[in-house]
């Protein structure tokens, strides 16, 4: 049995934990199994170099910070997207209401005539 059994319970209880496995085994098959099943960030074999271990820890901390920032940015984007959808629905509703307004005016007896302005840039309405 490899060392992957030590970190197996962590994904459900600590899903955001960055996992590093330090082992004395040189068994590559169990390392691959641990990386795939448990989601290890790094796998280091004994004897490890302390500078390499420090580098792995620094990279793990940086990864955790980047993931936290990414989640925060996604939440901000979701909030902005919801606000834009609300504004879009409001504008669409206002547009549809305005599009129905001339029909209501015609039904009430007012006749409107639209003509192109002399400059050719827009329309003016007269009664």
Buried-state track 72-84, b at ≥16 Cβ within 10 A, e below 16: eeeeeeeeeeeee
pLDDT at 72 over 80: yes
All residues at 6 or more sequence positions from 52 whose CB lies less than 8 Å from its CB, including other chains: 44
Query: Please, what are the domains in the chain?
Result: 4-111+119-126 (3.40.50.2300)
Measured CA to CA, the distance from residue 116 to residue 35 in angstroms comes to: 70
All residues at 6 or more sequence positions from 114 whose CB lies less than 8 Å from its CB, including other chains: 123, 124, 125
Measured CA to CA, the distance from residue 61 to residue 55 in angstroms comes to: 10
pLDDT, tens digit (0-9, with 9 covering 90-100), for 81-125: 999 999 998 888 888 777 776 655 555 544 444 444 555 555 445
What percent of the chain has pLDDT above 70?
Answer: 65
**What is the bridge-based pairing of β-strands 42-45 and 20-23?**
parallel
pLDDT given for residue 110 in this prediction = 46
Q: Encoding tokens for residue 117? A: 């302005």
């Amino acid at each position: 049995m490899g060392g992957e059994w030590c970190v197996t319970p962590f994904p459900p209880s600590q899903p955001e934990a960055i996992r590093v496995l330090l082992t004395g085994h040189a068994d590559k098959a169990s390392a691959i199994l641990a990386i795939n099943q448990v989601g290890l960030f790094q796998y280091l074999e004994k004897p490890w170099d302390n500078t390499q271990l420090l580098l792995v820890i620094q990279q793990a901390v940086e990864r955790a910070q980047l993931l936290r920032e990414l989640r925060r940015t996604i939440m901000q984007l979701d909030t902005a997207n919801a606000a834009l959808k609300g504004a879009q629905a409001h504008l669409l509703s206002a547009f549809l209401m305005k599009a129905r307004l001339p029909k209501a005016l015609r039904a009430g007896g007012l006749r409107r005539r639209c003509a192109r302005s002399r400059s050719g840039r827009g329309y003016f309405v007269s009664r």
